[in-house]
Structure 1
Amino acid sequence: GLEMVVILTIRRDGTVTNTYIEKKSRDPFFDQFVMKTIQSVDAMPRFPPLMRQQSIEVGLRFRPGELVTAN
């Protein structure tokens, strides 16, 4: 099935500073949907005080059958 993997770099304050595609799906429309969805997020939650890193990289895996819509 289709799968896209995107890597985000997130700073302590929740700002997403870098986004890159590690693996594209075989469907350009799905890839475009995923990237637009990620770009629509203003920020992630701040790191908790005990977390000392200045930034982290997070891998996100997207599959069409696992997408959920909010009502």
Structure 2
Amino acid sequence: MCKVELDEEVVLYWDHYKPISKGGHHVVDNLRPACAACNLRKSATWPISESRIKEISEEVIMVRNMMDLG
């Protein structure tokens, strides 16, 4: 979601686009890679709109930038 650079030392997780808890299935069509911060921030949100995905992405990027300054 945050489009993290893959050359960074970032652990990617499999995110269920439609969460299992909301009726999603553990199948390839419902999985996408996500950094830990995006995956945890999204949690079991469903339905998830493009604007919410953008909001999560911006929040995660802002936190990363603040961590880089510290």
Q: TM-score, normalised by structure 1?
A: 0.27
Q: Which has the higher helix share?
A: 2
Larger Rg: 1
Q: Which has the higher strand share?
A: 1
Q: TM-score, normalised by structure 2?
A: 0.27
**Greater relative contact order (Cα 8 A, min sep 6): structure 1 or 2?**
1
